[in-house]
């Protein structure tokens, strides 16, 4: 069944009103230009389909063990590297980043089960999502979940050049369940994850992944 995310309701209503208004104006003022009417109708249909597909919310079945980490988002793996994490851990971590294009599902899902021990929103810039500094300078929300086996994992929603609204439902002391929804990012964006050094990563650069399904890593 095709489901739509609740975060899309305002955008969908606005799109319906705008495209409906354009079609009415077209029928009133462009009757002598059928080719132009057809073009307006085509553009309106394209806009509506794009908005509907962007806010789709497919049902996913998450199957993972307690030490496995699932992908928090649909997209492509664009970073796998050691880096300094200066917000929470303040030490070297293994970073994995997933880039979401405008055609990907933009629901964000908990990558592991455990307890939310940190959640903070940061206002910031809107650099393109693959820019090296986007992880620390763009608008973002950082969440840390302490897994059931005691290992904390940090993941960060990052706004991009088009993404101007990050939604995060995770709050400190919440119970996180792998595969369940914790947020949404509107339009192209990215999610970073930070693991302890030595964590086994099960994906490769440029691999296409599915949120809530692809096993991203295995905690020791």
Chain segment 40-68, per-residue pLDDT in tens: 999 999 999 988 988 888 999 999 888 99
CB within 8 A of 20, min separation 6: which ones?
none
CB within 8 A of 117, min separation 6: which ones?
144, 145, 146, 152, 172
Asked if residues 126 and 163 have their Cβ atoms less than 8 Å apart, the reply is yes
Burial label, 162 (beta-carbon count in 10 A; 0-12, 13-18, 19+): middle
Lateral strand order in the sheet of 107-109: 107-109, 181-186, 165-168
Nearest to 102 by CA among 138, 128, 134, 139: 128
pLDDT, average across residues 109-127:
89
Give dist(CA 126, CA 188) in Å, integer.
11
Lateral strand order in the sheet of 75-85: 175-176, 114-122, 140-147, 152-159, 189-195, 91-100, 75-85, 208-209
Tokens at residue 54, please? 């962007």
For residues 3 and 199, the model is more confident at: 199
DSSP state of 34: H
Q: Given this model, what pLDDT does residue 194 score?
A: 97
Nearest to 53 by CA among 7, 108, 3: 3
Give dist(CA 152, CA 114) in Å, integer.
9
Q: Given this model, what pLDDT does residue 206 score?
A: 96
Nearest to 9 by CA among 81, 57, 76: 57
Q: Given this model, what pLDDT does residue 32 score?
A: 86
What are 203's strand-pairing partners? none
Residue positions annotated with a catalytic role: 189
User: Percentage of the chain with pLDDT > 70?
Assistant: 90
Nearest to 95 by CA among 104, 103, 86: 86
3-class SS of residue 173: coil
Residue 216 reports pLDDT greater than 80: yes
Tokens at residue 133, please? 């500094």
Q: Given this model, what pLDDT does residue 46 score?
A: 94
3-class SS of residue 151: coil
């Amino acid at each position: 069944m095709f489901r739509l995310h609740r975060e899309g309701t305002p955008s969908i209503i606005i799109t319906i009103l705008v495209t409906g208004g354009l079609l009415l104006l077209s029928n009133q003022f462009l009757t002598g230009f059928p080719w132009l009417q057809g073009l307006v109708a085509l553009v309106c249909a394209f806009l509506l389909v794009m908005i509907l597909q962007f806010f789709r919310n497919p049902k996913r079945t998450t199957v993972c063990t307690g030490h496995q980490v699932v992908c928090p988002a649909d997209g492509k793996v664009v970073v796998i590297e050691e880096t300094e994490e200066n917000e929470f851990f303040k030490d070297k971590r293994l970073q994995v980043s997933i880039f979401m294009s405008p055609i990907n599902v933009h629901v964000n899902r908990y990558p592991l089960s455990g307890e939310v021990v940190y959640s903070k929103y940061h206002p910031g810039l809107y650099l393109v999502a693959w820019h090296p500094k986007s992880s620390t300078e763009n608008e973002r929300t950082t969440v840390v979940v302490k897994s059931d086996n005691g290992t904390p994992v940090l993941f960060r929603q990052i706004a991009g050049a088009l993404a101007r609204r990050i939604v995060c439902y995770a709050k400190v002391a919440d119970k996180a369940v792998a595969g369940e929804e914790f947020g949404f990012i509107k339009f192209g964006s990215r999610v970073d994850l930070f693991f302890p050094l030595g964590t086994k990563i099960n994906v490769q650069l440029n691999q296409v992944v599915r949120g809530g399904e692809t096993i991203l890593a295995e905690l020791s």
